[in-house]
Amino acid sequence: MTDRWVSAFQDPAGPGDSRPTAKQIVEAETIKGTWSQKVVLVTGCSAGIGVEAAHALAETGATLYLTARNLTKAEKALGDLVKSDRVHLLELDLNSLASVRRAAEVFNSKEKKLNVLIANAGVMAPPEGRTDDGFETQFGTNHLAHFLLINLLMPTLKAAASSTFNSRIVILSSVAHRWASVNFDNINFDGNYDPNAAYGQSKTANLWTANALERRFGSEGVHAWSVHPGAVATDLTKYMDEETKKANGANEYIQKILKDPAQGAAAETWAAVSKALEGKGGLYIEDCQISKEWKEGQHAPGYAAHAYDEASEEKLWNLSLKLVGLSSL
């Protein structure tokens, strides 16, 4: 049932409350030790919810490829998990499209099939900057690098799809997609940088990419989901100004909906493993359930009206192909 977790989120009481963790999702799906023939790749496994998702997915018995820019940091964060012969660390710097290509080449040299790809890594509201390829940091890191990775690994995702388990692409979006659509006239925010608007743009791009992937590849057994993990206590907020941090700390509602990293990893894990989602895709997930359109209230759940704008999704897809060097307009 796609609504099996709804009641768990009705009355949040802060980190560590009764809302499920990623490991509890795996346990509830009764798949512990049953995925020995499956391969899963997760980006951003040196901190935060990526680490928690990795630990949960390891309990399925799947072969895991866990990416990080700093493998030493990832080894420390993942602990004993890296000792498993089913766990492989893969160097990937999303700030560089060349690094993305190298990582994809390494993966493709080792595996012919990929059952689940979780585009988990990301950066939020940093000072203005550019990736190695000249793109605004958040658009380049959160969107373009993952867009390229997904396309380079698509043959392995198609190859893994079966009648009993279609391949899945899980892309971390955010409630922040409601802050901004995609600024096609100034993707890099040149001369007008707003860190929050740029973050919102990148999260809308993540959501639109999942939708576009579903249209293109759903019929071939590859389904894509966009996921909002919720408000999670991780270092993703390290660039947030002190005034905002203080205000959030004093906001009773925010403190109630706040999740610890194990809970924050639950939604992406649910999107990756839930039997109820088999054969489906192209929808927005939050709180381990398929979300509905946002109506009102700053913190109310739901997606923005622009979340399902097919014309804009196609425009972004074609632009992204050009920007990462896969095609020209």
Position 174 scores a pLDDT of 96
Among the listed residues 46, 96, 174, 203, the single catalytic one is: 203
Phi then psi for residue 88, to 5 deg, are -125, 125
The full set of domains in the chain, from first to last, is 6-323 (3.40.50.720)
Q: Does the active-site annotation cover 181? A: no
DSSP result, 266-299: HHHHHHHH-GGGTT--S-EEETTEE--B--S-TT
Among the listed residues 173, 174, 181, 312, the single catalytic one is: 173
- Strands 284-286 and 116-119 come out as unpaired
Q: Which residues make beta-bridge pairs with 136?
A: 130
Position 173 scores a pLDDT of 98
Q: Which residues make beta-bridge pairs with 119?
A: 171
Q: Tell me if the pTM is above 0.85.
A: yes
Position 166 scores a pLDDT of 98
Q: Please choose, from the candidates 175, 215, 219, 46, the residue with its C-alpha nearest in 3D space to the C-alpha of residue 120.
A: 46
- pLDDT tens digits, one per residue of 128-172: 999 999 999 999 999 999 999 999 999 999 999 999 999 999 999
Among the listed residues 199, 202, 274, 303, the single catalytic one is: 199
- Strands 289-290 and 284-286 come out as antiparallel
Q: Put the strands of the sheet holding 116-119 in their side by side order.
A: 87-91, 63-68, 39-42, 116-119, 167-172, 222-228, 284-286, 289-290
Position 297 scores a pLDDT of 66
Q: Does the active-site annotation cover 173? A: yes
**Cα 124 to the chain's mean position, in Å?**
13
Q: Does the active-site annotation cover 199? A: yes
- pLDDT tens digits, one per residue of 183-231: 999 999 999 999 999 999 999 999 999 999 999 999 999 999 999 999 8
Burial class (CB in 10 A: 0-12, 13-18, 19+), 69: middle
Q: Which residues in the chain come in under a pLDDT of 50?
A: 328-329
Q: How far apart are the first and last CA of the chain?
A: 41
Position 300 scores a pLDDT of 77
